[in-house]
Amino acid sequence: MLVTLGAAVAAAVLAVPQNGQADPPTGLTVVMVAVGQGDGLVVQAPNGTVHVIDAGPSGQGTAAMLPTIATLAPTGYGYTFNSHFHIDHLGGLDEVLNAHPFTTALDRGDVNRPSNNDVNNYLAAAGARRQTIVVGGVYSLGGGAIVRCISANGVVTGGTTVPVVGTGQEENSRSVALRLEYGLFSMWFGGDLTGGGTTADVETAASLACGNVDVYKCNHHGSNTSTNLNLIANLQPELAVVSCGVGNSFGHPTTGTVNRINQAVASRILLSTTTGSASTIGFGVVGTLRITTDGQRYRATAQNGSFLDFYCDEVPTPSLAAGDLRISEVHRNPSIVPDTNGEYVEVVNVGAKPVGLAGLSLADGGGSVTIASNFMAVPGRPILFQVDGAGSRNGGQPLGVPLPFNSLALGDTADNVTLTDGATVVDTVTWSTGFAGGSGVAAERRDLFATTASTNWSAATMAFGSGDLGSPGRTNDVDTTAHGVQVGVSLATDRFTVHGTAFDLPGMFSVLLLAQSPTPTFPFANATIPLAFDSLLQASLSAPGFVAFVPTAGYRSVDVSLPQPNPLSGTTLHAAHVTLDFALAVPGLSPSIAFVLP
């Protein structure tokens, strides 16, 4: 049994690409290109084939879309999808079609199709490649990724038809709505689809037919005539993204749309290519946005390289326990910008493995926010909860989680911040007169494992962004935390993941070990390894990813795939994490932990 188990684990590890959960997920890529006031998206399937959904206004195909496509180094060219015949979506598509041999150009067809130079240029470039999209049709993108057509011309898959002829914004109402799927990941694209008021409400029926998604590409650039409450309830996205022009005259994204997406009772993050009309806050500003996913988790990366990680919502994540997250920094009285733009609260996962933040509530003395997005909090990597996500307005903070407008307002002299998950208090900090920090100076926690009393907090010492003092998004300048070496295991039906942290030992050797038994332990150098030296342990020593250097950030992981059905289901295994220096001494090791294969 031991030999069989060791061989099975070694074979399973060899079958899984070993990029850890701190690394960018690989598989499917979606790029929302900053094309100004318009939409332009590039999708690269896991097999390298590239597809395009809209291409922005005329000129943006050449200026923005083609350079983005080039960075992806395509292995082939598949579909172009035109959501509808407005020039801010269609104008650059002829430039894309003329430049590359895309096989098929899909659009909504010729019903009440407008006629102008941009439309004619598109029709000429598409030529014989042009096809009318089929509502309910499924289009294979390659490598297991597919697109489903949910609606077009007011016709919704499943049989519903919403009358759009002669209604306000008829062309917008005719927009093609698509659902992208890869593994557990899903994303909505709806062009300028309308949601009622002075327009036809196609959103309600189409979103009901679509169902839950991870990412919602905002309809109509965040217009008030789109993103109705029914759509939010039906799609329940964790991440919303919007493309609009800086200083646009339409108010995009509008206050109403932002507030429907990002509510205090269910705060969902919204990321925008620009600050939009500059009259609304409550969202992050990212430029061209890249989303990558392996079908289990996904990462949203801004143009400047900053990013946020998420679990796909079907991935189960356990409830948070007391102490899983620590409040590491509070900026309650910025001086460079107003409090309503510059306040923030930073939290850090001090555990051995990533945790999901869906359901986490942040409260101060006057309000509370419950997080609906399933953020993936990686050990040691700070997450910033901020009142404004635009770096040009918030004092130069890095990308964080923008909270709903006016949901938290930190008292300058006295207040508190408490993190809860259900009835569990995860962490809390209270301040009053004399607390560290103040005008233009954040308060930083020195020891993340020690008390939150004022004696464990110091004033920040280094400037960030526009000049306030603080360390948002990075380890505190006054940090004195002594971290032990940790190991953790997370389980899924088709895999398990071994996690290891050694925050204080970057550059050392990190050895993640598996064994069938914790005894008999065995000596190595100056330490006693808390596992049996059985065949499973020997197999893990030789399997890819189990021996590596401790990354600079101090956290890494390795996946082990499980056969389906799993003949080893119910088997108890044990794990430990050992660090070695270059003399092969052991500067730190974890206790062993037990886990049961699903």
The count of domains in the chain is: 3
For CA atoms 450, 325, 362, 385, the dihedral sign is positive
Main-chain phi, psi angles of 483, to 5 degrees: -95, 135
Strand 383-386, strand 401-402: pairing:
parallel
Show which of 271, 293, 315 is a domain's final residue.
Answer: 293
- CATH number of the domain bearing residue 581: 2.20.130.20
Same domain, yes or no, for 493 and 347? no
Pick from 561, 423, 434: which is nearest to 493 by CA? Answer: 561
Same domain, yes or no, for 424 and 529? no
pLDDT band of residue 2 (cuts 50, 70, 90) is very low
d(CA 24, CA 30): 13
**Residue 6, pLDDT score:** 63
Residue 402 lies in a domain: no
d(CA 202, CA 180): 19
Task: Please tell me what DSSP assigns to residue 85.
Answer: S
In sequence order, what are the beta bridge partners of 499?
488, 557
Residue 386 lies in a domain: no
In sequence order, what are the beta bridge partners of 242?
272
Residue 43 lies in a domain: yes
- CATH number of the domain bearing residue 193: 3.60.15.10
For the ranges 246-255, 277-286, 391-400, 563-572, the lowest mean pLDDT is seen at 563-572
**Residue 494, pLDDT score:** 84
12 or 39: whose pLDDT is higher? 39
Same domain, yes or no, for 287 and 370? no
Residue 191 lies in a domain: yes
Same domain, yes or no, for 62 and 134? yes
Residue 501 lies in a domain: yes
Average pLDDT value for residue range 478-489: 96
**Residue 17, pLDDT score:** 46
Residue 21 lies in a domain: no
**Residue 5, pLDDT score:** 63
Same domain, yes or no, for 277 and 160? yes
Is residue 85 within 8 A of residue 171, CB to CB? The reply is: yes
Same domain, yes or no, for 415 and 333? yes
Residue 287 lies in a domain: yes
Same domain, yes or no, for 421 and 538? no
Average pLDDT value for residue range 555-582: 91
Q: Which residues neighbour 214 within 8 Å (Cβ) at sequence distance 6 or greater?
A: 185, 186, 187, 237, 238, 239, 298, 310, 312, 313
SS3 helix, strand, coil % of the chain, rounded to 5? 15, 35, 50
Same domain, yes or no, for 96 and 146? yes
**Residue 160 reports pLDDT greater than 90:** yes
Average pLDDT value for residue range 417-445: 96
Segment 110-155, tens digit of pLDDT? 999 999 999 999 999 999 999 999 999 999 999 999 999 999 999 9
Domain that holds residue 592: 2-15+483-596
Same domain, yes or no, for 59 and 94? yes
Is residue 102 within 8 A of residue 96, CB to CB? The reply is: yes
d(CA 128, CA 77): 16
Same domain, yes or no, for 78 and 210? yes
**Residue 492, pLDDT score:** 87
Query: b vs e for 574-595, b when ≥16 Cβ sit within 10 Å of the residue's Cβ?
Result: bbbbbbbeeeeebbbbbebbeb
- Tell me what percent of the residues of the chain surpass a pLDDT of 90: 89
Residue 22 lies in a domain: no
Segment 323-381, tens digit of pLDDT? 999 999 999 999 999 999 999 999 999 999 999 999 999 999 889 999 999 999 999 99
Same domain, yes or no, for 275 and 334? no
Same domain, yes or no, for 348 and 286? no
